[in-house]
Chain A
Amino acid sequence: MILEVKNIEKAFGRKPVLKDINFLLEPGSITGIVGENGSGKTVLMEIIVGVKKAQKGKVHINGKLGYCPQKAMLFSHLTVKEHFDYFSIAYELDKTQSKLRTEELLDHFNFGKYKQERIINLSGGTQQKLNLSLALLHQPNLLILDEPYNGFDWETYERFWNYTTTLKNQGCAILIVTHLLSEKVRLDRIYKLENGILV
């Protein structure tokens, strides 16, 4: 077991958003979470990664976490390369590992030509490629992806799924928030978040 979510409850004021959420993620699996806008999917992701605190319950992570937030969280005045350098230091990767992984991800998602560009000058799709790549940089064994392909073109979308499938085959557990019904075939398990309950 890589992730255990146990009895999670969260309310904003008097409005309950998550009610007694429980699930496990096993190595080598892709799990999808679907639900309407405002159903609490992002809140659940933020509780799992530790950005938000649940009123009740526990999250147990067994391994290296990679998190791709819904909106690209990047420094607008740093370049793509500087982001890889900054996050490599955060993940405590050595220089060789950092260089290798940076080149690999730039190459895989086909945005190497923007390496020296500042974020402020990039399109939304390229920013999202970087947003995702930063979550993958340290080769995590648990990936939390909150609608990671916003703004991707079809080719990048396919590349994303190829990469994700490879990670799954290497034993990574992936939790992905999605809206697309067409993705059902790629997922091992789907949960629906409805009225705060996971079904």
Chain B
Amino acid sequence: MSVKKITTGVSMILRMLVRQKIVILLILVIPAFFLTIVELTSSDRILPFQLASVGEDIFVNISENGISFIFFSVASSGFLVSFLALNLIQKNNLVNRRLIICGYHPVELLLSILTVLVLVITFIAVYVGLLTNAFYSIEHLEKFILGLVLIGFVYGSYGLAVGSLIKGELEGILMIVLLVNIDVGWLQNPLFYAEAQNQIIIKFLPAYFPSQTCIITAVTDFSSSSSTMYSLAYGSIFLFFSMLTFFYKMRTK
């Protein structure tokens, strides 16, 4: 294992990433666009909803636009990180394989990709967290940003898993859009799941715990440690699976 190879890998992957204008545009514009739509469309009426991960009988009152800001910041972070993770692992698959033939170890390459992903997750979480706070005053901003890091971790690992398993770019994007849409974009909306017929299914979806962390830290003083731990566990499963697949596919025979 060579540190020089990993740092060179990180430097090159970062250069490739920032040189893709569409990537920068997506990161900066999508959250701002989502939150602006919320600002323009949602009302101030107070809604009670159940905080499922804290307790069955715990209800909080929050304005419709408040919960929408939180919900859409989680959705945009999850979607962005997942898409970028897919891009990182899938786009240069063949050249990466060539690098391995030339002397890189698959683990060195994977560690380079993961380091870049961590930087991307952190940047997106801080940017989206601060942006959300500009629209709606978050109760515990640092913890809320941590919640966004968790959704980035879970969905970033999912993006890596999809990217290392599926060859086609379009199929990969479809897999991401489908799950993000159904999970983060719909079922994790607290206004939906509080009244959902079957909450068990919703609780087993990847965005459940990170969404709960974000909601708890944004509007209450309850502890989010349990949902944080479950988020880490969920993300780790995806990450382990994606690492295994990447290593299996990239190793020289």
Contacts and interface: CB of A to CB of B under 8 A. Distances in A.
Nearest to B108: A90
A73 B253 contact: no
Contacts of B34: none
Interface string A44-55: 000101111110
B98 A89 contact: no
Contacts of B102: 67, 87, 90-91, 134, 138
A23 interface: no
Contact of A73 (B4, B12, B98): B98
Interface string A20-64: 000000000000000000000000000101111110000000000
A85 interface: yes
A70 to B, nearest CB: 11
Interface string B182-195: 00000000000000
Contact of B19 (A53, A86, A118, A134): A118
Interface size class of B (residues with CB under 8 A): 20 to 34
A133 B92 CA distance: 19
A9 to B, nearest CB: 14
B252 A69 contact: no
A134 B20 CA distance: 24
A77 interface: yes
A47 B94 CA distance: 15
A82 B15 contact: yes
Interface residues of A, number: 26
Contact of B253 (A52, A77, A87, A118): A52
Nearest to A92: B103
Given A75-B92, A78-B15, A90 B20 contact: no
For A49, A51, A75, which residue has the most chain B Cβ atoms within 10 angstroms? A75
A77 B95 contact: no
Nearest to B109: A90
B143 interface: no
B94 A73 contact: yes
Interface in A124-142: 134, 138
Contacts of B49: none
B77 to A, nearest CB: 24
Given A50-B252, A53-B253, A86 B16 contact: no
B237 interface: no
Contacts of B19: 77, 118
A190 interface: no
Given A65-B101, A90-B103, A118-B19, A78 B12 contact: yes
Q: Is the interface of B mostly helix, strand, loop or mixed?
A: helix
B97 interface: yes
A78 B96 CA distance: 13
Given A85-B8, A90-B103, A91-B102, A73 B15 contact: no
B96 to A, nearest CB: 9
A197 interface: no
For A47, A78, A90, which residue has the most chain B Cβ atoms within 10 angstroms? A90
B5 interface: yes
A98 to B, nearest CB: 11
A74 interface: yes
Contact of B8 (A49, A86, A138): A86
B12 A69 contact: no
Nearest to B13: A75
B197 to A, nearest CB: 46
Contacts of A138: 102
Contacts of B20: 77
A142 B78 CA distance: 47
25 contacts: A49-B101, A49-B252, A50-B101, A50-B253, A51-B97, A51-B252, A52-B253, A54-B253, A65-B101, A67-B98, A67-B101, A67-B102, A73-B97, A75-B12, A75-B95, A77-B20, A78-B16, A82-B12, A86-B99, A89-B4, A89-B5, A89-B8, A92-B2, A134-B98, A134-B102
Interface of B: 2, 4-5, 8, 12, 15-16, 19-20, 92, 94-95, 97-99, 101-104, 252-253
